[in-house]
Each structure stands twice: as structure tokens, then as C-alpha cells.
């Protein structure tokens, strides 16, 4: 549990040595000192976005397992996709004087006040999975996670290659993540930039499906009702793509054939759909951030410098690659 940050602890130890030495020299044997006891165990307060997707479940498991393995005491809160719950959890962690706060921000904006409160309390903050748009980068130590723009770009580039001989319009519908979330903003941006290379590729409808299967299904039903010709679906995650599969099948269309489906994440269920030919391409987003997060927590707690940005290593999958990777897929 946190009592003081590393440099302060070092100063306190030195001060108490000097004090004890001074007192002993005066012939007083009282070495009580009066400081608070530090049991040496790091406590991390973690605020998770929610449990909206297979990715999120795998991410939560990774964090919990890694904390146990690293001997870090984890205080965990599920914010149920609500920013106000995350702010409340962070304020609780500040009150509890945890050693490190880590969180995956549900949306990008609106964090400056609470991050300033953590900074004033001398509690380091690590952003994991998603970042914030704060101009003051001193409000957090580092951001560990994916490059979401790159994921969108990889998805778009694959489509450009597939449709390079298309002579007429290719109608694309897009299922976005929750409004204001970094992966929703960035994947949209990366995908849009990549498909601009071919003017035949047009996004004819784009709506949030909140990263959930139910959201993906419901919005895809609306897309199918409102648009006669849909050639491609770009879903910002596997779960929305999996929900959309149900809507597509119910509408009498064959997913992966009548409608090309591109998603992001590469969780097992998504990879199975890709291996089965129901999805056509996935840009990977790794949820296994726990071990790196715990390592960073130890470093920032010890007062060590850490890189301000740590990018997760990721790849992409076609149907053939999914078939090969599935037997060893961890999440």
C-alpha cells in the first residue's frame, strides 16, 4: 500500500537515519520516528471500460492474472461503459492512496480534472488500451496500447487491394464503436484514409454499434432495411461483426460472399468466423496487456523513467491464416 513515492521514501529513510544518529548521539534510545509503515506491496487501482466484448473479457483476465503473477494488489472496477463511473473509481483510488492508477478510458475527452487530482496526490497514472486527448501529457506517465489508426488503415488497404478491378461503386457500411472512444475515432479515420485511394469505394452508412454483438445486430438490420445494395461491412470489432452475421443471414444473404466482412480484434469467435469464410479479413488488436502493464507499474512506482508511448505488436489475418492460427489462439 502506498505511503510515499520512491524519491520521497528515499529522502525519508535518509532523514530518519540522520535523526536516529542525532538522537543516539544525545544519549536518547527512542528510535520510534513516527512515520507510516510501508509494507512494500504495490497497490494498483484499475478502472476497466466494461465487459462489452470478447476482447474486453480477455483484457480483464490478462490484467487480473498478471497482477497476481507480479505480486501486485489489484483493486478492479468495471465502469459499465460509463465515463462518470470511471471518474468515480479513480477518485476512490486517490482517496485510498493506491500506489498506481491504471485505466482504459471509455471516451477520449473529459479527463483533465480527475487526472490533475491524481497528479496533485502524487499518484502516477498509466493509460492502457485507449488514450485520452489531454493536451497536458504530464497528467499520465505512459500509454500502453494499440495503434488504432493503423488497424483501420490495414483493413482499408486490404479492401482497396481486393476491389482494385471494381468498375462501379462498392457500397460500404460501417459499424462504429461507442461514440467518442479512441478506437472508434481512430479506426474510422485510418479506414477512411486508406479507401480514399479508390473513388469507387464509398461508405454509404456509418453508425455506432457500441462494440457489442447486440448493437452490431440491431444496426446491421437497419442498414439492410435502408440500403438495397451493400457490398462490404467494416465493423470496428469482431463482436459487432458477429452480431451483424445474424442480421445478414436473417435477411437471406450469405455473409462473406454476398457481403465482404472486415473486422478488428481477432478474438477466437471472430477467428472462427474468418476460418469458416463468414468474415473475410481481420486486423488484430491484442488484449494481452497485463504483463506489460504490471512491469510498467513497478517501474513508475520505483521512480524509473518509462517511454511515454508503448505500442502493442499486431498483425492481420485472412481466412487461410486464421485456420492456421486458431488452434493456438489464446483468447
Shortest CB 264 distance to ligand AHR, Å: 6
Residue labelled with grid coordinates 497528479: 119
Stretch touching ligand AHR by CB under 6 A, among 51-59, 153-161, 275-283, 312-320: 51-59
Characterise 330 by phi-psi region: left (phi > 0), alpha (psi -120 to 50), beta (else): alpha
Q: Nearest-CA neighbor of 66 among 56, 55, 58, 78?
A: 58
Q: Is position 47 an interface residue for ligand AHR (rule: CB under 6 A)?
A: no
Binding residue for ligand AHR, selected from 264, 271, 282, 296, defined by CB under 6 A: 264
Binding residue for ligand AHR, selected from 108, 231, 265, 284, defined by CB under 6 A: 265
Residue 231 φ then ψ, to 5°: -100, -35
E-only strand ranges, 15-59: 43-48
CA distance linking residue 74 with residue 144, whole number of Å: 18
Q: Closest CB to ligand AHR among 2 and 213?
A: 213
What the block records as the C-alpha cell of 198 is 479508390
Are the C-beta atoms of residues 205 and 173 closer than 8 Å to each other? yes
Q: Contacts with ligand AHR in 280-309 (CB under 6 A)? A: 285
| Segment (H or E) for 91 | helix 83-95
Binding residue for ligand AHR, selected from 44, 45, 47, 52, defined by CB under 6 A: 52
Binding residue for ligand AHR, selected from 43, 47, 48, 53, defined by CB under 6 A: 53
Binding residue for ligand AHR, selected from 130, 188, 278, 301, defined by CB under 6 A: 130
Binding residue for ligand AHR, selected from 55, 111, 143, 191, defined by CB under 6 A: 55
Q: Is position 174 an interface residue for ligand AHR (rule: CB under 6 A)?
A: no
Q: Closest CB to ligand AHR among 114 and 267?
A: 267
Q: Contacts with ligand AHR in 62-121 (CB under 6 A)? A: none
Residue labelled with grid coordinates 535518509: 14
Q: Is position 183 an interface residue for ligand AHR (rule: CB under 6 A)?
A: yes
Residue labelled with grid coordinates 461491412: 233
CA distance linking residue 137 with residue 139, whole number of Å: 5
Q: Closest CB to ligand AHR among 54 and 124?
A: 54
Query: What order do you get walking across the sheet with 260-265 strand by strand?
Result: 201-208, 170-176, 232-235, 260-265, 281-284, 316-317
Q: Is position 171 an interface residue for ligand AHR (rule: CB under 6 A)?
A: no
Which residues are at the interface with ligand AHR (CB under 6 A)? 52-53, 55-56, 129-130, 183, 211, 237, 239, 264-265, 285
Amino acid at each position: 500500500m502506498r505511503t510515499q513515492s520512491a524519491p520521497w521514501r528515499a529522502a525519508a529513510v535518509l532523514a530518519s537515519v540522520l535523526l536516529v544518529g542525532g538522537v543516539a548521539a544525545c544519549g536518547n534510545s527512542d528510535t520510534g520516528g513516527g512515520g507510516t509503515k510501508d509494507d512494500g506491496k504495490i497497490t494498483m487501482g484499475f478502472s476497466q471500460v466494461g465487459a462489452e466484448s470478447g476482447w474486453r473479457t480477455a483484457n480483464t483476465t490478462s490484467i487480473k492474472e498478471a497482477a497476481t503473477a507480479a505480486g501486485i494488489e489489484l483493486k478492479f472496477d468495471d465502469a459499465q461503459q460509463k465515463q462518470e463511473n470511471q471518474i468515480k473509481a479513480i477518485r476512490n483510488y486517490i482517496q485510498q492512496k493506491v500506489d498506481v492508477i491504471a485505466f482504459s478510458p471509455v471516451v477520449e475527452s473529459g479527463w483533465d480534472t480527475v487526472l490533475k487530482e491524481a497528479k496533485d496526490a502524487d499518484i502516477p497514472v498509466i493509460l492502457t488500451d485507449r488514450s485520452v486527448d489531454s493536451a497536458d501529457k504530464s497528467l499520465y506517465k505512459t500509454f500502453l496500447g494499440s495503434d488504432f489508426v493503423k488497424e483501420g488503415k490495414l483493413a482499408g488497404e486490404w479492401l482497396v487491394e481486393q476491389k482494385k478491378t471494381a468498375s462501379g461503386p462498392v457500397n460500404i457500411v460501417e459499424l462504429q464503436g461507442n461514440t467518442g472512444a479512441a478506437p472508434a475515432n481512430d479506426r474510422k479515420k485510418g479506414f477512411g484514409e486508406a479507401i480514399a485511394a479508390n473513388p469507387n469505394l464509398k461508405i454509404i452508412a456509418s453508425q455506432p454499434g457500441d462494440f457489442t454483438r447486440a448493437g452490431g445486430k440491431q444496426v446491421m438490420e437497419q442498414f439492410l432495411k435502408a440500403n438495397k445494395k451493400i457490398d462490404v461491412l467494416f465493423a470496428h470489432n469482431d463482436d459487432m461483426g458477429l452480431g451483424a452475421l445474424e442480421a445478414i443471414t436473417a435477411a437471406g444473404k450469405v455473409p462473406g460472399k454476398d457481403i465482404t466482412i472486415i473486422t478488428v480484434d481477432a478474438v477466437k469467435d471472430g477467428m472462427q468466423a474468418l476460418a469458416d469464410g463468414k468474415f473475410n479479413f481481420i486486423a488484430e488488436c491484442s488484449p494481452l496487456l497485463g504483463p506489460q502493464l504490471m512491469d510498467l507499474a513497478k517501474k513508475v512506482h520505483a521512480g524509473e523513467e518509462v517511454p511515454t508511448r508503448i505500442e502493442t505488436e499486431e498483425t492481420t489475418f485472412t481466412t487461410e491464416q486464421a485456420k492456421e492460427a486458431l488452434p493456438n489462439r489464446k483468447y
